[in-house]
Every structure is written in structure tokens, then in C-alpha cells.
């Protein structure tokens, strides 16, 4: 019986365990009170009955002890239902015993009947099975009937209750409670199963939602309540305690998607139209794609039927019943739907788009046995194998070189793991680089998408070498220098100005202009970057953060001349612009000073054939500013008596580079005669006069004062004239005697006079003015170029004279041309570097029978000319042996000349360009000296030239006989 009556699994309740503990406590306390109260009443009303008070007290004490024990013992609380059933058995047995001992009086018979019925009802309420109920009713019936046996055999005259009636009543209660209990428990268990099934379904739904990343929601139109599942909160990252109203929910969506979501819900509420859309949810910095679905339900569709379920047969998330007011009308009652996280699907779609974009690549598919099942035309072309030669054959058989390679390792791992993979490797079977992407197919094989990237890898390698080559230059460049690739991304960035604006190389490299600069600047940069990649060189200016930058873009080429990258150079010219403005203000002050001192400045540029005058110079000439002016027009305004002197001074400045300072009369076009002082200074570049700069001053007032002074002294002058004439004749005799020496030293003294005069002038002007672009800083250049020209002219003329007169004897002996070329190249490397030229040396053994000094004359003259006439590119010196001739060769990428003009180059004082229009300075004796020296060493000089491409001069000298064996 214990296993049946007290079995734990039969005591599952409607209420929770804690609630049943409290119910048991209350019933136990009530039973204790009734036991004690009933005993006291019997003592007062019927003292003769047999009802020991100690027994009542014991029973009451046991119940109180049980109640107290449930507060301290977990075991009692866990088994409180079963223990309460034991007390019910005990109460029934006690009541039945008292009724039998007292002859079955009416009150005792009624008590037995009530206890029997009440105890059965309590067990029925606390059990999910009829077994405990029937067990109690049967045991209770037998227990209650035992005391009745004597009454059947020995009738009690005083018995108020018929034993048969009591037995029948007990039996009736048992049948009634048993039958009713069976129906109650069946119905209750049905509800419990439905509740458990609902809980199971809800749990299953939650798990399904979590696995599928789907959440559910419901919006009640009348009440405005919105209910979300936990998964819906997780997907949107919207806190459960936050407001879930539609207006607040709209704010979760991306601003671009918000109008579509709002319109979809409006149409669902107003028109009863379902919706299914994809939109972006924004949470902090995170953005994810979701699929939102909604289905409206009208009032008629959600009215409860007789069973209490919704008429549509579905369970709502909300268990709140709808009031009559809320359920009135025919409009939409609520909208329910789902929200699904489709971020992974979106990523897969992007991946598929990338796959689709590769259709121009080669495609090859294999099954799980590595048999080729598909080959597209691109794959046939790339591999050079026809489709029929590959289909049905093993991949390893078709491409035998794959076995043992890195390709095989990656392919087999992708087949095993069923995960996409990528490899970029050189395939030895074709000696090409391949970029291969592979994806598992539904058939169990692999799909390969590939292309040949050999050219790309070669460009990357060339770019890497270029980066290495330019690294030192870029790091030490005063501005910012950048290398960028075909994708317009920076691959190398450095320079002092880069650090000055707070950027680091690591922050720039790998980025694009759009990642760093504002859109407007980035658009312009990308345009010029693309031009550089197309082979163009460009220069432009940009303004950013209040600073002005001067930028240059140019292509970077490999050894074959192919553009592999681009370079951008940036300089901050903000300070230069400020200095330019300052200079303009100072020039304005200078012009005002010219007006006050009646001094004007002028310049004649031979290259541009422009004669420029300041406003004050125009006024002195009596002409309006801006009128076209030429040296001829200026000389035409001189007084006829003074004009020859002015022209001669200007001619000597142009042709001989001599400064002049003359005073002459000027007759303006208006007929006004003025005395002026005109000074001119030749400006040189590469040893040639390229412009004349000077000043003109109105000294009319000074001359008038001098004339007045002269008139006052005329008498004294007449008295001294005879004596001065005699002195002049003596001086003339002495002058004729020293004329020869004066002529020789004239070329030396005149430049030295210029050096002294301009040194003083530079010192004075530089101390008073800060004029970076004024003529004053150029005076230093005049000193240096005047000195160099003096030495070159003197050396050239003297060497030519000595060679032609036989005063310079060249003694031949073995001379190592390679060693002499190295010495000369090192000596002139600085001059090439100043012009930004590369001076290259390519030597092979070559020993000539020549004079070492004569060889140096050849080398210096040829190298000097090559550097002078080359503005960009390189100059290359070569030595080699050609048969019985040792060759010394100098090649440049300079201006070159017409081949017809080269015929007279070796004549003294001849150049390719002569007169005032020539572009480069020089006397024309260098090549004459070179040719004379080569001929006296039994050699010759040859020239190959092309205008605009460059020239190559070759000196052929007799080779030393012993050099052949040494070589």
C-alpha cells in the first residue's frame, strides 16, 4: 500500500510546491483547532462519553509539530503532501475508534462521515491520479466499518444512528467521490498536459527562434501593447525594459530604411495588408540586416469560440483577454509577425556576387572523386587544353605537376573540410602565377575559379624594388613623398612634412586618398593619380587646413619603361607665398625709391627676347609704361654723338660679358634732351650671358651743376692745358710700350674688377634689404660665373695657341683610359648633381698610347660640354677597346643639334648657335682644343647627334700593343 499511496510521482499538483506547503500548514492548524474545540464541547455537553483528552492533545501536538517542522526541514516541506495524507488516515482511524467505543452516537457517526468525505476530497485535490483517492476511500471504508461489526450482532438500544445507514452513507460517499474524482482528475490532467504541451511548444519555439535567428512580435492595436520574444530582443539588441511602441521601434532601423518600415506597418493597420521586407537595424556602431514580416488580424478573425480559443486556431503571444470595447468594430485587431537576422545570408549573397563576377575567370569543377565535370572557355584558353581532354579525367592526371605541390595540399584540405579556400602560388607546370578560389559544391566536389596573375605579381615585385629604391629619398625628403599602386592606394609614404601634420607612414600606407582627405581634395588627387598611372607628369596646388601645398605627380616605370606605380610629391608653400607677398610690398617700396631718386631699372632677356623696364625707366625715356621696348629703340633715343658709345657698351656686355657704366645724352620722342647715366651687368647661366640687367638714372641736374663748375674753372684749365698735353704725350709713349702686356692681362683684370665691385655692392645691398627675388642675390652668381668664365676662356685660348704653335708637346706613353675617366667623372660629378643629372661610368679595359695631360683635356672638355647642354636625364662616360683603337666615349641626353651643324663644331670660336640669339654661353674653343689634342696624339674625334635627343662624342686613340695581352 505504501508504494501505491505514498508514491512520490502521484503527488504532482496544480499549485506549486511552496503554495501547497502553505495550504497544508493552514489545514493542519485548522484541524488542530477543531480537534481541541470538539473535545472541549463534548466534555461540557456529554461528560459520560469515552473520549480521552490526552489522545486529542497528542494528535493536536503532532499536527503543530508537523507545521513547525516544515519551517526548518526541507524534507518535511518536500514530503508535506504525503505526510498530510498520513494524518488524514490517522484522523479517520481516531474518529472511527471513538464512534465504536461510545456506541455510535449521532454526533460521532456524523463526524466519521464528514472526516471520511473531507479527507477524500483533500486527497483528490492533491493528487494527479485516482489511485491515492481510491486507496483512501477503500482503506477508510474498511477502517470505518470495523467498529460497526459489533453493532450488527449486538444491537444497541440507545444508538441514534443505524449502522446500516452509516455503512450505506460511507459507501455512497466512496462511490460518489471516486466517480467524481476520476472525472475531475481526468479533466485536470488534460489541462495540465495542455499547459505542459504549451510550455514545451513555447520552449521549442524559443529554441527554434534562437537556432534560426528568428524572433516573434505582436502589436495590439486597441491597447497599444507590443510583445516581443526574447530572441526578438536579442536580434534588435533592444532592452526588454525599453519602450516597444511602433514609433520607438522605428528608430531602431537605418534612416534610409525607416520610411519603408513605417509605410509597411501603416498599410497593415489601415488596409490589412501583410508585409515582408528586408531592412537594416542600427545599434551603436553595429549595423545588421533583418527580415521583418507582419500579418494583420481583423476583429472577426480573433473572436473566441465556445471553447475559448481564438477562431483562427492560433495562439497569441498575449494572454490578456480583450474587452468588449477593444474587440468592437471590424478593423485590424492586432498585427503579429517575425523578425529574422539575415546578416549571414547577406554576407553569403555578397560572396555569391563575387563568385558571379568571376565568370570571366577560368572555371573548373570536380566531383568527390576528383573527376573533372565542367570546364569553361576561359579555363581552356588559360590552360591551353581542350575541354574534351579534361572532362571525365582525374584532376591529378590532367595536371600532373599539382601532385606534391602546395596546390594539392590546399585542394585536399578544402575537399576534406568542405570549407572555401584560396591560394595564390606559382604553378610549375606552366611557370605562371595562379590565383585560385575554391568552394565546396552540393554534389560533394569542388568548384574552382582561377586566373593567371603573373603580370600582377611582376608588377608587385617591381613596385617592391621601386619602394626599396625610393625609401631613403622619401624618408629624408623635406616635404611629403608618396608611392601609390594601380588601385590608387598608398604603398609608401614618408617625409618630414608628413610627420609635421600628425600623420604616420603606417596610418597612410594601405589607405586611399578618400580615406585620409576630404572628398573634394580626394577627387582631385585621384584624378591626377590616374593621370600619373597613364604616364603623365602634372603639377597642381591645393589648400587644406589653411595651408597651401604644391603637388607633383609622375609615373614610376620599371626597367622596360612600363608604368608600375605612381609617385606624388607635396610641399608646403604657405611660407613661400608669404615671402612672395612681402617681396611684392618691398618691390613697391623699391619702385617708390626709384621715383624719388629718379632711377629706373631694366632687363633684356635673350632667350625670351624681351626688354623689360620699370615705370620710372619708361618715364626717363619719355614713354608711357607698357609700351613695347627693344634695345634698338632705346639706343635710337640717344643723342647721335653718344649713340655709338651706348651701342658698343651694350655689344661688349652681350658678347664679352663686360659690365658698363656710361653717361650720355638722351632725346625723348617729345624732343626733350636729358643727361642719363646707364649701367649694365651681364647675367650668366652655364657660362653664357642670358640677360643684361641694369639701371638708368636722370642726371640732367647733376650735369647742369657740373657745367657751371666747369665754367668757373675754365680759365685755370686753359693754363694747365699745355702742361697736361706734354704729360699726355709722355704717357702715350709709355702706354704703347705696355700695350702688349695690357692686352694679355685684360681678360684677367676685368673679371677681377667685377668681383671686387660687386662684392662691395652685395655687402651694401644685402645689409639694407631683404629681397629674396631681387637682383642683389644674383650678384654672387655673377662673381662666381665671371671667375669661372675667365679661367675657362684663358685656359682654352692658351691651350689652343700652345697646341697650334707647338709650344705644348704631347708625349705618348701607355695611359689607362678607365682610370682617367674615373678621375674626370669624380671631378665633375658635383656639377652634374647641381643640375639633377645622373653621371654614369661604364668602363672596360682600354689602354691607349697617348699623353695623360692630353687625355684629361679630352675628358674635361667633352664632359663639361655634355653637362652644359643637358638639362635632364644623364651623362655616360665609356671606355673600351675596338680593334687597334682605344675608345673614349661621352654620351648625353641633352639638346643635341642638327647633324649639318656638327660639321663645323671643331673649328675655333664656332658653336651650333651663335650671336645674340644663342641659348648657351661659351667661346667655342673647347671642341677645337679637344680635336687638336686628339690629332696630335694620332687620334680623331667623331660626333653622332640628333636634335632634341642628345649627342655622343667618341675619341679614338691608338691602343697600346701590350694592352691586348693584359686584357
* CA-to-CA dists, residue 542 to 12, 380, 497, angstroms: 84, 50, 15
Per the prediction, the chain carries an average pLDDT of 75
Going by pLDDT thresholds of 50, 70 and 90, the confidence category of residue 16 is: low
Segment 527-543, tens digit of pLDDT: 999 999 888 989 888 88
Q: Indicate the range of 50-54, 580-584, 886-890 predicted with least confidence.
A: 50-54
Which of the two residues, 520 and 801, has the higher pLDDT score? 520
Asked if the model's pLDDT at residue 317 lies above 60, the reply is no
Q: Is the dihedral of CA 399, 404, 407, 413 positive or negative?
A: positive
Q: Residue 194: which residues within 8 A CB-CB, separation 6 or more?
A: none
Helix (H, G, I), strand (E, B) or coil at 294: strand
116-130: average pLDDT: 67
In terms of C-beta density within 10 A (0-12 exposed, 13-18 middle, 19 or more buried), how is residue 601 classed? buried
Provide the pLDDT confidence category of residue 420 given band limits of 50, 70 and 90: very high
Cα 162 to Cα 168: distance, rounded to the nearest angstrom: 10
Q: Which cell numbers hold the place of 22?
A: 502553505
Grouping H, G, I as helix, E, B as strand and the rest as coil, residue 621 is helix
Least confident of 42-56, 494-508, 874-888: 42-56
Give me the pLDDT at residue 158, please.
Answer: 46
What percentage of the chain's residues is helix, strand, coil (to nearest 5)? Answer: 50, 20, 25
807 pLDDT above the threshold of 60: no
Closest CA to 194 of 74, 315, 293: 315
- Dist CA 221 CA 268 (whole Å): 11
The SS3 assignment for 910 reads coil
pLDDT at position 263 is 93
Rounded-to-integer distance, Cα 435 and Cα 882, Å: 51
Question: For residue 309, what are the contacts with CB-CB under 8 A and spacing of at least 6?
Answer: none
> What confidence category does residue 469 fall into, taking pLDDT thresholds of 50, 70 and 90?
low
The whole-number pLDDT of residue 305 equals 44
Over 70: is that where the pLDDT of 511 sits?
yes
How many Å apart are CA 483 and CA 463, to the nearest integer? Answer: 9
* Closest alpha carbon to 912 in 938, 957, 942, 951: 951
Report the pLDDT value the prediction gives residue 312, as an integer from 0 to 100.
45
User: Residue 370: how many CB atoms within 10 A of its CB?
Assistant: 17
Residue 568 near residue 529 (C-beta atoms within 8 A): yes
pLDDT at 13 (0 to 100): 40
Q: CB within 8 A of 851, min separation 6: which ones?
A: 810, 811, 812, 813, 815, 933, 937
Task: Tell me: pLDDT of 74 over 70.
Answer: yes
Distance (Å, whole) CA 955 – CA 404: 60
Q: What is the mean pLDDT of residues 207-221?
A: 76
Q: What is the mean pLDDT of residues 309-321?
A: 47
pLDDT score, position 353: 47
Q: Could you read off the pLDDT of 382-410 as tens digits, one per residue?
A: 788 888 888 889 999 888 888 888 899 99
Average of per-residue pLDDT across 819-824: 89
Ordered alpha helix ranges (H), 73-129 = 74-78, 80-101, 106-125
Give the C-alpha separation, 721 to 814, whole Å.
69
- At residue 181 the predicted structure's pLDDT band, cuts being 50, 70 and 90, is low
Decide: helix, strand or coil at residue 427. strand
- pLDDT (tens digit, 9 = 90+) per residue, 822-870? 988 888 888 888 888 899 999 899 899 988 888 888 888 888 888 888 9
Q: Which residues pair with 281 in a beta bridge?
A: 253, 288
Q: Which residue has the higher pLDDT, 897 or 903?
A: 897
> In this predicted model, which residue has the larger pLDDT, 37 or 278?
278
* Angstrom distances, CA of residue 953 to CA of 580, 850, 932: 44, 18, 15
The mean-pLDDT minimum among 297-301, 342-346, 666-670, 697-701 falls in 297-301
Contacts by residues 387-395 (CB-CB < 8 Å, ≥ 24 positions apart): 390/364, 394/369, 394/370, 395/366, 395/370, 395/371
pLDDT at residue 708, as a whole number: 79
Position 2 scores a pLDDT of 33
State in Å, rounded, how far the first CA of the chain is from the last one. Answer: 125
Contacts 24+ apart (CB under 8 A), 904-907: 905/943, 906/930, 906/931, 906/941
pLDDT of residue 799: 59
**37 or 362: which carries more pLDDT confidence?**
362
| Pairing verdict, β 563-572 and 599-605 | unpaired
How many angstroms separate the CA atoms of 661 and 572, rounded? 43
pLDDT tens by residue, 738-761:
343 345 445 555 665 666 556 556
710, pLDDT greater than 90: no
Task: Give 371's strand partners.
Answer: 394
For residue range 657-700, list pLDDT tens digits in order: 889 998 889 888 888 888 988 888 898 888 888 888 888 888 88
What was the pLDDT predicted at 330? 62
Q: Is the pLDDT of residue 879 over 90?
A: yes
User: What confidence category does residue 446 fall into, taking pLDDT thresholds of 50, 70 and 90?
Assistant: very high
pTM, rounded to two decimals: 0.27
Task: Tell whether the model's pLDDT for residue 270 goes beyond 50.
Answer: yes
Percent of the chain with pLDDT over 90: 11
Cell 595540399 sits on residue: 409
Q: Which three cell numbers stand for residue 239?
A: 532592452
How much is the pLDDT for 699? 85
**Are 873 and 894 in contact, with CB atoms under 8 Å apart?**
yes
For 310-460, where are the E strands, in sequence order? 332-341, 362-366, 372-375, 421-427, 432-440, 446-452
Checking if the pLDDT of 286 tops 70, the result is yes
Residue 889 and residue 930 in contact, taking contact as beta carbons nearer than 8 Å:
no
- Closest to 685 measured CA to CA, from 613, 785, 757, 765: 785
For residue 890, give the 3-state DSSP assignment: strand
Distance from C-alpha of 786 to C-alpha of 861, rounded to nearest angstrom:
19
How confident is residue 711, by pLDDT bands cut at 50, 70 and 90? confident
pLDDT level of residue 916 (50, 70, 90 thresholds):
very low
Query: Longest C-alpha distance within the chain, in Å?
Result: 203
Residue with the bigger pLDDT between 513 and 739: it is 513
Task: Considering only residues 326 and 687, tell me which one the structure prediction assigns the higher pLDDT.
Answer: 687
Q: Compute CA 489 distance to the chain's CA centroid, rounded to the nearest angstrom.
A: 8
Tracing cell 579555363 back to the chain, one arrives at 379
Cell numbers 572532362: residue:
391
Cell of 641: 654723338
Q: Is the pLDDT of residue 262 over 80?
A: yes
Highest-confidence segment of 181-195, 229-243, 498-512: 229-243
Measured between alpha carbons, how far is 320 from 322 in angstroms, rounded to an integer?
6
d(CA 955, CA 935): 10
CB 662 within 8 A of CB 616: no
Per DSSP, the chain holds a count of helices (H) and strands (E) of: 31, 27
Closest CA to 838 of 889, 876, 864, 878: 876
* pLDDT confidence of residue 915: 43
The mean per-residue pLDDT over the stretch 360-382 comes to 85
Phi-psi map region of 359: left, alpha, beta (phi>0 left; psi -120 to 50 alpha): alpha
Look at 200-204, 276-280, 302-306, 421-425 and tell me which has the smallest mean pLDDT.
Answer: 302-306
pLDDT greater than 80 at residue 207 = no
Average pLDDT over residues 133-157: 59
**Distances in whole angstroms, Cα of residue 751 to Cα of each of 614, 659, 722, 791, 837:** 28, 9, 37, 10, 29
Q: 195-199, 230-234, 575-579: lowest mean pLDDT where?
A: 195-199
Tell me the pLDDT tens digit for each residue of 372-388.
988 888 888 878 888 88
Amino acid at each position: 500500500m505504501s508504494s501505491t499511496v505514498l508514491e512520490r510521482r502521484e503527488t504532482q499538483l496544480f499549485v506549486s510546491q511552496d503554495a501547497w506547503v502553505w495550504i497544508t500548514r493552514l489545514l493542519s492548524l485548522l484541524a488542530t483547532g477543531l480537534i481541541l474545540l470538539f473535545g472541549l464541547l463534548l466534555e461540557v455537553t456529554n461528560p459520560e462519553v469515552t473520549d480521552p483528552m490526552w489522545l486529542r492533545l497528542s494528535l493536536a501536538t503532532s499536527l503543530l509539530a508537523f507545521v513547525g517542522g516544515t519551517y526548518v526541514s526541507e524534507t518535511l516541506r518536500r514530503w508535506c503532501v504525503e505526510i498530510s495524507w498520513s494524518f488524514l488516515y490517522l484522523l479517520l482511524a481516531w474518529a472511527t475508534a471513538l464512534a465504536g467505543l461510545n456506541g455510535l452516537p449521532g454526533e460521532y457517526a456524523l463526524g466519521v462521515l464528514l472526516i471520511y468525505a473531507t479527507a477524500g476530497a483533500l486527497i483528490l485535490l492533491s493528487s494527479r491520479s485516482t489511485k491515492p483517492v481510491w486507496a483512501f476511500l477503500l482503506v477508510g471504508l474498511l477502517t470505518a466499518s470495523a467498529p460497526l461489526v459489533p453493532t450488527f450482532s449486538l444491537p444497541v438500544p440507545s444508538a441514534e444512528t443505524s449502522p446500516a445507514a452509516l455503512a450505506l452513507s460511507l459507501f455512497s460517499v466512496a462511490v460518489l467521490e471516486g466517480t467524481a474524482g476520476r472525472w475531475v482528475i481526468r479533466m485536470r490532467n488534460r489541462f495540465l498536459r495542455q499547459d505542459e504541451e504549451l510550455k514545451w511548444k513555447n520552449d521549442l519555439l524559443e529554441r527554434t527562434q534562437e537556432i534560426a535567428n528568428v524572433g516573434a512580435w505582436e502589436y495590439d492595436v486597441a491597447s497599444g501593447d507590443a510583445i516581443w520574444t526574447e530572441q526578438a530582443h536579442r536580434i534588435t539588441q533592444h532592452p526588454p525594459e525599453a519602450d516597444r511602441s511602433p514609433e520607438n521601434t522605428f528608430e531602431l532601423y537605418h534612416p534610409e530604411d525607416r520610411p519603408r518600415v513605417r509605410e509597411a506597418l501603416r498599410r497593415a493597420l489601415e488596409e490589412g495588408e501583410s508585409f515582408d521586407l528586408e531592412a537594416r537595424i542600427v545599434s551603436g556602431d553595429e549595423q545588421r540586416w533583418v527580415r521583418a514580416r507582419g500579418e494583420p488580424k481583423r476583429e472577426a478573425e480573433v473572436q473566441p469560440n465556445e471553447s475559448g480559443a481564438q477562431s483562427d486556431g492560433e495562439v497569441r503571444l498575449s494572454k490578456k483577454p480583450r474587452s468588449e470595447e477593444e474587440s468592437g468594430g471590424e478593423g485590424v485587431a492586432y498585427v503579429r509577425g517575425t523578425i529574422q537576422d539575415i546578416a549571414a545570408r547577406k554576407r553569403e549573397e555578397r560572396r555569391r556576387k563575387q563568385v558571379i563576377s568571376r565568370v570571366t575567370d577560368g572555371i573548373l569543377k570536380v566531383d568527390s572523386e576528383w573527376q573533372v565535370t565542367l570546364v569553361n572557355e576561359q579555363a581552356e584558353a588559360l590552360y591551353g587544353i581542350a575541354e574534351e581532354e579534361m572532362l571525365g579525367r582525374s584532376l591529378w592526371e590532367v595536371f600532373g605537376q599539382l601532385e606534391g605541390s602546395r596546390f594539392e595540399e590546399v585542394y585536399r584540405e578544402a575537399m576534406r573540410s568542405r570549407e572555401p579556400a584560396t591560394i595564390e602560388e606559382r604553378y610549375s607546370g606552366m611557370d605562371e602565377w595562379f590565383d585560385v578560389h575554391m568552394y565546396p559544391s552540393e554534389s560533394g566536389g569542388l568548384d574552382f575559379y582561377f586566373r593567371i596573375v603573373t603580370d600582377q605579381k611582376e608588377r608587385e615585385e617591381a613596385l617592391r624594388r621601386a619602394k626599396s629604391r625610393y625609401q631613403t629619398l622619401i624618408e629624408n625628403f623635406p616635404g611629403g613623398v608618396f608611392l601609390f599602386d594601380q588601385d590608387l592606394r598608398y604603398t609608401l609614404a614618408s617625409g618630414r612634412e608628413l610627420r609635421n601634420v600628425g600623420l604616420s607612414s603606417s596610418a597612410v600606407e594601405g589607405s586611399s586618398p578618400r580615406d585620409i582627405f576630404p572628398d573634394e581634395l580626394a577627387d582631385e588627387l585621384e584624378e591626377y593619380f590616374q593621370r600619373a598611372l597613364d604616364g603623365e607628369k602634372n603639377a597642381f596646388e591645393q589648400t587644406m587646413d589653411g595651408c597651401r601645398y604644391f603637388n607633383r605627380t609622375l609615373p614610376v616605370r620599371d626597367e622596360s619603361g612600363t608604368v608600375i606605380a605612381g609617385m606624388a610629391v607635396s610641399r608646403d608653400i604657405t611660407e613661400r607665398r608669404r615671402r612672395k607677398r612681402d617681396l611684392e610690398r618691398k618691390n613697391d617700396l623699391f619702385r617708390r625709391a626709384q621715383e624719388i631718386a629718379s632711377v629706373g631699372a631694366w632687363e633684356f632677356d635673350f632667350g625670351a627676347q624681351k626688354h623689360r623696364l620699370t615705370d620710372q625707366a619708361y618715364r626717363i625715356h619719355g614713354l608711357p609704361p607698357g609700351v613695347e621696348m627693344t634695345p634698338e629703340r632705346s639706343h635710337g633715343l640717344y643723342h647721335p654723338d653718344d649713340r655709338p658709345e651706348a651701342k658698343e657698351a651694350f655689344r661688349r656686355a652681350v658678347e664679352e660679358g663686360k659690365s658698363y657704366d656710361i653717361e650720355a645724352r638722351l632725346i625723348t620722342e617729345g624732343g626733350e634732351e636729358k643727361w642719363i647715366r646707364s649701367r649694365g651687368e651681364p647675367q650668366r647661366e652655364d657660362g653664357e650671358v642670358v640677360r643684361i640687367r641694369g639701371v638708368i638714372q636722370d642726371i640732367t641736374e647733376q650735369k647742369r651743376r657740373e657745367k657751371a663748375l666747369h665754367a668757373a674753372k675754365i680759365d685755370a684749365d686753359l693754363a694747365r692745358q699745355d702742361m697736361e698735353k706734354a704729360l699726355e704725350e709722355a704717357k702715350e709713349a709709355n702706354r704703347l710700350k705696355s700695350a702688349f702686356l695690357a692686352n694679355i692681362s685684360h681678360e684677367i683684370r676685368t673679371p677681377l674688377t667685377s668681383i671686387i665691385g660687386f662684392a662691395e655692392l652685395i655687402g651694401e645691398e644685402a645689409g639694407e634689404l631683404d629681397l629674396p627675388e631681387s637682383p642683389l642675390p644674383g650678384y654672387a652668381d655673377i662673381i662666381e660665373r665671371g671667375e669661372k668664365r675667365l679661367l675657362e676662356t684663358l685656359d682654352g685660348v692658351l691651350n689652343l695657341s700652345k697646341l697650334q704653335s707647338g709650344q705644348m708637346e704631347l708625349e705618348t706613353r701607355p695611359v689607362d683610359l678607365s682610370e682617367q675617366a674615373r678621375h674626370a667623372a669624380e671631378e665633375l660629378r658635383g656639377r652634374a648633381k647641381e643640375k639633377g643629372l645622373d653621371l654614369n661610368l661604364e668602363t672596360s679595359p682600354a689602354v691607349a698610347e697617348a699623353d695623360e695631360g692630353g687625355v684629361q683635356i679630352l675628358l674635361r672638355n667633352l664632359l663639361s660640354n655634355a653637362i652644359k647642354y643637358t638639362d635632364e636625364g644623364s651623362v655616360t662616360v665609356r671606355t673600351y677597346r675596338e680593334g687597334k683603337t682605344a675608345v673614349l666615349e661621352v654620351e648625353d641626353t641633352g639638346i643635341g643639334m642638327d647633324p649639318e651643324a656638327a660639321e663645323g663644331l671643331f673649328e675655333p670660336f664656332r658653336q651650333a648657335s651663335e650671336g645674340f640669339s644663342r641659348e648657351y654661353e661659351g667661346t667655342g674653343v673647347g671642341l677645337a682644343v679637344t680635336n687638336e689634342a686628339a690629332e696630335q696624339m694620332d687620334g680623331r674625334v667623331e660626333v653622332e647627334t640628333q636634335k632634341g635627343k642628345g649627342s655622343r662624342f667618341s675619341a679614338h686613340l691608338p691602343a697600346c700593343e701590350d694592352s691586348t695581352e693584359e686584357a
